[in-house]
Chains A and B, each alone.
Chain A
Amino acid sequence: MRYILILITLLAFGCKKNYQLTEAYDRGKEVYITNCISCHGSDGSGNLLYPAINSRVANAMTLERAVWVITQGSQNMPSVDLTDQEITDVLNYIQNSWGLETEVISIDSIISLKSTTKNAAIYP
C-alpha cells in the first residue's frame, strides 16, 4: 500500500511538468506552423535561403537572443508579431523538438526578458 502511494505521488509530480509541456508544445506547434515553418522547415533544418534552428549550436543561443530575434528580427528575418504567450509556446516547442530537450520556459521569464532586451541589441 505504501509503495502504491509513493508511486502515485511520484507519478503526480512527474506528470505536472509533462502536462505543462504537452499543452505548451501543442500550442507552440501551431504557432510554429503559422509563423516559422516556411523558412525554418518542418524539421527545423531551414532551407537554402534560411538557417537551421534544430541544431544544438542554434539551440545554444541564449533565451535573451531568441526573444530578441523574434521581437526585433535579424538580418533577413523580419520581426514576428507574437504575443508573450505565443513566444513562450513556440520556444517551448522548438527547444523540445527534433531530439532536443530543455526545461519548460515560463511566460514570466519571457516577459522579463522582453523588458530587459527592449532597448539593447543582444548578440549571440
Chain B
Amino acid sequence: MPRFTLNINEIEYTVEAPERMPILWVLRDHLKLTGSKFGCGIGQCGACTIHADGIPIRGCCVPVKALEGKVLRTIEGVPGEHPVKESWRKFDVAQCGYCQTGQIMSAIALLDRKPNPTEEEINRAMKGNICRCGTYKRVKNAIEEASKNQIT
C-alpha cells in the first residue's frame, strides 16, 4: 500500500493507506484522531469538516492522496481558548454534540475568511453543516459573538 506523509495539526504523520481512502478514515481509524465525526459519508451533513490550507472540506469525500502536502487542521488542533470555542461554551451551543466539531471547523474557516460576517454570510457558510438537534440559532449567536471577540 502507498505511504503518505500528512501534515495534521502541525505534526507530520506517515500513514499507509489506499490512495482512494477518504481522509476521515485515515484520521479516525489509522491516527485515532476521532474528533471529526462520520455522519452521512457523502458530504451532505458536514460532521466530518476539517481544514485543508484553511478551507473547510468534508473529510468523507476527499481521498488521502489529494491532501498530500497540504496543511490540515482538525478539531484537535484548535486550542481550547480559541475565541470560537470560548463563545461556544458561553452560549452552551452543543446539545447532543455530534455535529459540533464540524460546525466549529466551518465557523473558524468562515471567520478566517471574513472576520466580520453578516447574518447572510453566516447562513451561506454554515449551510453545509446540518444539526439534528436544531441548534442553529445558538450556532449563529456564537459565531456573531466570536467575531466580536477574536484577536485581529
Contact = CB atoms under 8 A, between A and B. Distances in A.
Q: Do A and B come from one complex?
A: yes
Interface of A: 27, 30-31, 33-35, 37-39, 41-42, 47-50, 76, 78, 81, 86
A30 B125 contact: yes
Nearest to B46: A34
B43 A33 contact: no
Contacts of B113: 33
Contacts of B126: 34
Nearest to A29: B113
A33 B20 contact: no
A49 B125 contact: no
B71 interface: no
Interface in B27-49: 42-44
20 contacts: A27-B124, A30-B124, A33-B109, A33-B125, A34-B128, A35-B128, A37-B57, A38-B43, A38-B58, A38-B61, A39-B62, A42-B53, A48-B20, A48-B65, A48-B66, A49-B61, A49-B63, A50-B61, A78-B42, A81-B127
Contacts of B124: 27, 30-31, 34, 86
Contacts of A42: 53, 55
Contact of B44 (A27, A49, A50, A78): A78
Contacts of A49: 20, 22, 61, 63
Interface in B103-152: 106, 109, 113, 121, 124-128
How many chain B residues sit at the interface, stated as a range, is 20 to 34
Interface hub of A35, A47, A86 (most chain B Cβ within 10 A) = A47
A35 B45 CA distance: 10
Interface string B52-89: 01011110011101100000000000000000000000
A78 B130 CA distance: 15
B92 interface: no
Given A38-B58, A49-B20, A49-B22, 19 more contacts: A30-B121, A30-B124, A33-B109, A33-B113, A33-B125, A34-B124, A34-B126, A37-B57, A38-B61, A39-B58, A42-B55, A47-B62, A47-B66, A48-B63, A48-B66, A49-B61, A49-B63, A76-B42, A78-B43
B49 to A, nearest CB: 9
A44 to B, nearest CB: 13
Contact of B57 (A31, A38, A48, A78): A38
B16 interface: no
The 9 A-B pairs with the shortest beta carbon distances in the complex, nearest first, are A38-B58, A47-B66, A38-B57, A38-B61, A48-B63, A34-B128, A39-B61, A30-B124, A38-B43
